[in-house]
Every structure is written in C-alpha cells, then in structure tokens.
Amino acid sequence: MRRMFWFGAGIAAGIAVMRKVNETTRKATPNGAAEQIGGAMRELAGAVGSFGADVRAGMMERETELQNVVDGTALPPQRRAESRSVDAARPGESRVRDGGRAPARRARRADR
C-alpha cells in the first residue's frame, strides 16, 4: 500500500513537472511571446481607458460644483465647511467678519 501511494505521487509530480516545462517552452516560442505581449497590451489599454473614465467623471463633478458656485446655488466645499464651523461656534453672529467685510477668497493652486 505504501509503495502504491509513492508510485502515484511520483506519477502526479512527473505530470505536473512536464506540464510546467511544456508551458515554459511554449512561452519561449515567437507565438508564445506574441501572446504574452498582446495580453500585456490589452491590460494596459484597459487600465488607460479606466483612468480616462475616472478623469472625465471627476472633471464633470468639478464642473458641476463650479457651475453651482457661479450660479450662487452653493458654496464651494471648503467654504461650506468653514461656514458650518462658524455657525456652530457662534450661532447668534453673522458670518461676516473684520468690521463688515467678507473674508477674502483665495484661489486654489492647480497642483493641489
């Protein structure tokens, strides 16, 4: 029984090794290399397409935010957070500070 087990294990190991060797030699041929390069190019194209879709979605979201600010229907996210914190800190006071002047707005840098 013990010998039969090791005989079967040896056959299974031999088959596994032969499959791995055949796969490696197939990849070394020109057709195998072309398949690998083609697969890598398809993967790269998919990643680039996904990145472009994410950029377009972010751009549309930002354009909507900016349009709302221009229309006056919403404050930019940073100003919204500041106005909430000012309202929460001093519920009875208005948001206008510095002797009746509104706080100056600063432009965001393009690299942020």
Q: Where are the beta strands (DSSP E) in 40-85?
A: none
Residue 25 lies in a domain: yes
Residue 45 lies in a domain: yes
Number of domains in the chain: 1
Residue 102 lies in a domain: no
Q: What is the pTM of this model?
A: 0.42
Residue 92 lies in a domain: no
Burial of 30-59, coded b for 16+ CB within 10 Å and e otherwise, reads eeeeeeeeeeeeeeeeeeeeeeeeeeeeee
- Whole-number pLDDT of residue 91: 53
8 A C-beta contact, residue 68 and residue 74: yes
Residue 110 lies in a domain: no
Residue 55 lies in a domain: yes
Residue 46: domain span: 2-87
Residue 11 lies in a domain: yes
| Average pLDDT of the residues in 46-64 | 95
- Whole-number pLDDT of residue 102: 56
